[in-house]
Amino acid sequence: MILDDFIRGTTAMTHVGQWNITYMDENIRQTFKWSVTFTPHDKIQVTSLGGTPIVGWSKTKHPPEVAAFFEFFTSQEQVKQFDELANYMPVRNDLLDQKINYRTRPDLMATFQQQIKTLPPDYVAFTSRSYSAGIGTILLEETTKMNVQGQSVDDTAKNIDARGNKFIQENPDVEA
């Protein structure tokens, strides 16, 4: 159905992240024209650009080795190489304005590289908490109820707040 709409000239939209660019490029190819744009937002950007946290446990039996790995893996050179190969956004501020030679669709990745600059500084701290994945599930469930089942915006916000706070209370951050 969606492809038929594209063939007839109708515009469609999906909300995905830069981690989907390689998959889409490999599977859509020239079937239809597609591009990316900034995620809509109000006063501040509040949508995650995705990513996979890499963490070291503070109670590890091998602190020097963990520290050495993080020093290597988070160096400017390694982060840039990882971003270029994996089509990820830089996690270092000193790379935000640098030219990243993305392997797949660098023309589209530039949009994401500009968008990441709009995220609030505290957002990164939240997304690195061990409970943030569970909060993401709650957000998905409640917004699905709103979009598919007709749950009101007010009820959705109240449910996210109540369920999210309960989840955090029951699943405190392991590093706190």
Task: Answer positive or negative: Cα dihedral of 82, 84, 87, 89.
Answer: positive
pLDDT at 6: 47
- Give dist(CA 123, CA 121) in Å, integer: 5
User: What pTM was computed for the model?
Assistant: 0.57
Query: Residues 87, 75: contact at Cβ < 8 Å?
Result: no
- DSSP per-residue letters across 116-166: GGGS-HHHHHHHTSTTHHHHHHHHHHHHHHHHHH---HHHHHHHHHHHHHH
pLDDT at 125: 67
In the chain (176 residues long), the average pLDDT of successive 10-residue segments reads 46 67 81 74 60 72 90 92 87 86 89 79 68 81 86 90 91 74
